[in-house]
Amino acid sequence: MTENNTSIREKGLEAKEAGRRLAALPYETRQNALKEIERQLRADEDKLLAANAEDLAQAEKEGLSAPLLKRLRFDDHKLADVTAGIDSLTGLENPVGRLQMRTELDEGLILDRISVPLGVLGIIFESRPDAFVQISTLALKSGNAVMLKGGREALRTNRALFESIKEGGKKAGLPDGWIQNLESREEVTEMLALDDCIDLIIPRGSNAFVRYIMDHSRIPVMGHADGICHTYIDKDADLDKAVKIAVDGKTQYPAVCNATETLLVHQDIAEDFLPAFKKALSEKHTELRGDETVQKIIDVKPADDQDWKTEYLDYILSVKVVPDEQSAIDHINRYGSGHTDAIVTENTEAAGLFTAGVDSACVFVNASTRFSDGYRFGFGAEVGISTSKLHARGPVGLEGLCTYKYILHGNGDIVADYADGKKQFTHKKIAVK
Amino acid sequence: MTENNTSIREKGLEAKEAGRRLAALPYETRQNALKEIERQLRADEDKLLAANAEDLAQAEKEGLSAPLLKRLRFDDHKLADVTAGIDSLTGLENPVGRLQMRTELDEGLILDRISVPLGVLGIIFESRPDAFVQISTLALKSGNAVMLKGGREALRTNRALFESIKEGGKKAGLPDGWIQNLESREEVTEMLALDDCIDLIIPRGSNAFVRYIMDHSRIPVMGHADGICHTYIDKDADLDKAVKIAVDGKTQYPAVCNATETLLVHQDIAEDFLPAFKKALSEKHTELRGDETVQKIIDVKPADDQDWKTEYLDYILSVKVVPDEQSAIDHINRYGSGHTDAIVTENTEAAGLFTAGVDSACVFVNASTRFSDGYRFGFGAEVGISTSKLHARGPVGLEGLCTYKYILHGNGDIVADYADGKKQFTHKKIAVK
């Protein structure tokens, strides 16, 4: 235990040192490393697939369910997907070294704010092995060292991926230790305690899993536990749009965090909307659970208080009739998870009240909650979706893996001159592109 | 205890609700409230000064030290200072509602990112009562509700300030409960547990105090425990600038976090620099503690490993000779607190190596570490200085009290159309000013 402790701590310190050296490398080295890693993964195809076959064989023996086996599989298609992903990542802009702000404090005293990597990322994810590649290359693109702990079932696959990525990075001259692979559950516990080495933890997995991580570390965690998203159909909604958006929000892909879980309907439109919605939904095999008013209008199962708090991630939708827009906003702020909520309305004032009043990362007008996603938002890559208000909120792209640094260039400048009144600050903002 | 618990929780929920209503108010209401608060404080001068006189009398009876009594004093000068502070705050730009990013996802589907208030701030500070006014008006300017806990010695003064600020806000139509005053130590413990009400804790006080807060809450904390700042004199430094910058960094105001605590000197310049520096420093009554090499060049007390880790906040400076620039960078990254570090050099390459290699919020070239400050940086107001890398780093202005929200405006748009290939995203970035 003590020995193991030391070893994880050493991995953390090694990653921290490597992160600093990575941050100081030219961008070309990181770009070149992405290409080398892509090549290496292709060259190691046989090894990778063999390792995955062993994981699959053991998982089958242990009776893993069919959907989990499917997630665990890493075949030639998955390999093609991850290498294509690296290719597209290589094409994105460099998130590091961006000039965010420039101010002339005084003549010859120039303050810059530039983006820099966070340092070390700690990533904990469940069984999909392709995530190992995606996450480690996102870290590299943004100049961060990374410690990864994948699912137990994918142990051999992750180890083989780790070796390939390390080898590719080595060929491009990355510092040793920039990527660290953790394999046991005990190592995760120890990793969560490395608050002097790791700058950000990103957990990927079930609600319960993410919540556990958030509750057991002093390191900042980026992500979301729940995604309880709402669509509110205002009295001034266009009925066709309302039906389309509500159906899409629930059924386009219900197993994900940005799917609509609760529909709120203004009482003035409920009698028109609900039957039309039910009809449109009928071919989607979706179970509706309604409050008493809803039950009077359409035939649905009853909803109770627990339904407003539930992320079904399934073809189930809770429906509630509200007396006015403010009640809808209050319901969302009370039961929602601050992820994504939409209003359908043709009334500009109602739209403005909703976007101002709903305290969520993403607030949509006349669009499906399913748009809440880094790729759809045009970020090119998605690191995750954050329901925290600090640092990055909502869908997070590469910039969420960066912080900034103030750099001041002077020429012998001292504060005493300003304190004495000999000199005055000019504080001229200089436009940056 | 249970009753008290409920009451703090109720204050938290009340603040959360008020924060949401505050965020939805027009900017003019918040600006007008700042003016009303300024007027009210002036009108209540007699009450405020009387309350402070009582606090002072009790503190004297309890034997509070002279410097602490001075910090506790709230007289007509302090009142003039805080009202002038509100006046200047009123003149700053609105940090809320700024359009940070606009992207056309597709024709008629526009994604905006705008700044919004965080929600509820929790502020815990030691004895200076003027901080009560500064912090609550910073919160108001940025649209946040605020829960404040001041020092025990200033109980009556803070209570009087609280009443005036609340009254001024009421006249301007602020929602009840936007400002909450906590008075007991037990209330702080309970406040630190309100992670579903409070979005950000800002502690102001000693290192030990800030560290205690950071260790005892799951709510994000913005601030810094230590400020161990370094000035590195490179071999290519201009001697005059080096002496000026080192003297200013240490002695211009040593009791603050951005004062230089350790001087690192390249061995090639040590024999020229150290005697000149010691001479320049002689009138400042500063104690020097040097490593062995320093001791051979000038007459100083010996420094040990503990000195490199110490924030003196006093006229004491540790000095170390380093064999090369990388050793200086390594020393800073090992012993520093990620706050502010400076290099003095005429060599552009050495400056670039330093700004890239030092992992601190502020990295300065040929300027005193004392410039690290929100006012000097031109932010108009300073919320604090953060050594965390997440959210806000370095000196933090009003923007550090804000988060952002994505607002998507569509016209009945659904994801199924893009998943089916019927439509394609355009992802056109639209320039924002």
Interchain contact, A391 vs B395, CB within 8 Å: no
Token pair, residue A402, equals 């960066």
In angstroms, the CA B218 to CA B8 distance is 17
pLDDT on residue A7: 87
Going by pLDDT thresholds of 50, 70 and 90, the confidence category of residue A182 is very high
**Total-model pTM:** 0.92
Look up tokens 């961006």; give the residue: A98
Interchain contact, A377 vs B407, CB within 8 Å: no
Q: Cβ(A121)–Cβ(A146) under 8 Å?
A: yes
B284 touches chain A (CB under 8 A): no
Nearest to B245 among A200, A241, A414 (CB): A414
A425 touches chain B (CB under 8 A): yes
Interchain contact, A365 vs B408, CB within 8 Å: yes
Instruction: Give the mean model confidence (pLDDT) for residues A375-387.
Output: 91
Q: Chain A contacts of B378, Cβ < 8 Å?
A: 103, 105, 111, 425, 427, 429
Which residue in chain A has the smallest CA separation from B424?
A376
**Residue A2: is its pLDDT beyond 70?**
no
Token pair, residue A212, equals 């556990």
Instruction: Give the mean model confidence (pLDDT) for residues A175-200.
Output: 92
DSSP, res A63 = T
Nearest to A410 among B367, B377, B411 (CB): B367
Q: Chain A contacts of B225, Cβ < 8 Å?
A: none
Token pair, residue B122, equals 């929790």
pLDDT on residue A424: 97
Average of per-residue pLDDT values in chain A: 94
pLDDT (tens digit per residue) in A275-316: 999 999 988 899 999 999 999 999 999 999 999 999 999 999
B419 touches chain A (CB under 8 A): yes
DSSP, res A399 = G
Nearest to A364 among B370, B404, B410 (CB): B410
Nearest to B408 among A20, A364, A404 (CB): A364
Nearest to A367 among B368, B408, B427 (CB): B408
pLDDT on residue B1: 39
Nearest to A103 among B378, B391, B419 (CB): B378
Q: Chain B contacts of A405, Cβ < 8 Å?
A: 355, 360-363, 393-394
Which residue in chain B has the smallest CA separation from A355?
B407
Interchain contact, B23 vs A245, CB within 8 Å: no
In angstroms, the CA A54 to CA B38 distance is 72
Nearest to B415 among A105, A218, A370 (CB): A370
β-pairing, A316-322 with A260-266?
parallel
Nearest to A416 among B248, B356, B409 (CB): B248
In angstroms, the CA A281 to CA A252 distance is 11
Closest CA to B14 of B191, B241, B178: B178
Mean pLDDT (10-residue bins), chain B, 433 residues: 65 95 94 98 98 96 90 94 95 96 97 97 88 94 96 95 98 97 90 93 85 86 89 98 98 94 98 97 93 97 96 96 98 96 98 96 98 94 90 94 97 97 96 80
**Cα–Cα separations (whole angstroms), residue B338 to B16, B257, B342:** 33, 11, 12
Nearest to A411 among B103, B366, B377 (CB): B366
pLDDT on residue A211: 84
Does domain A229-371 fall into CATH 3.30.1360.120? Answer: no
Q: Chain A contacts of B427, Cβ < 8 Å?
A: 378
Q: Chain A 224-243, CB below 8 Å of chain B: which residues? A: 238, 240-241
pLDDT on residue B309: 95
**Residue A335: is its pLDDT beyond 80?**
yes
Calculate the CA dihedral of residues B151, B153, B156, B157 and round it to 10 degrees.
-70
> Which one of B99, B226, B234, B359 makes the best mutation probe of the A interface by having the most chain A beta carbons within 10 Å?
B359
Interchain contact, A109 vs B367, CB within 8 Å: yes
Q: Cβ(B361)–Cβ(A405) under 8 Å?
A: yes
Q: Chain A 296-355, CB below 8 Å of chain B: which residues? A: 333, 351, 353, 355
Please report which helix (H) or strand (E) contains residue B386, including its range: strand B384-386
Q: Chain B contacts of A111, Cβ < 8 Å?
A: 377-378
Closest CA to A394 of A404, A409, A416, A379: A379
Q: Chain A 6-35, CB below 8 Å of chain B: which residues? A: 20, 23-24
Residue spans per domain, chain A: 2-97+119-215, 229-371
**Helices A27-43 and A155-171, axial angle in degrees (round to 10):** 130
Token pair, residue B71, equals 């910090």
> Which one of A257, A309, A355 makes the best mutation probe of the B interface by having the most chain B beta carbons within 10 Å?
A355
B216 CA to chain A: closest CA distance, Å?
10
- CATH code assigned to A2-97+119-215: 3.40.605.10
pLDDT on residue B82: 95
Amino acid letter for position A163: E
The number of CA neighbours under 13 Å toward the Cβ of A380 is 18
Tell me how long chain A is: 433
Q: Chain B 74-103, CB below 8 Å of chain A: which residues? A: 103
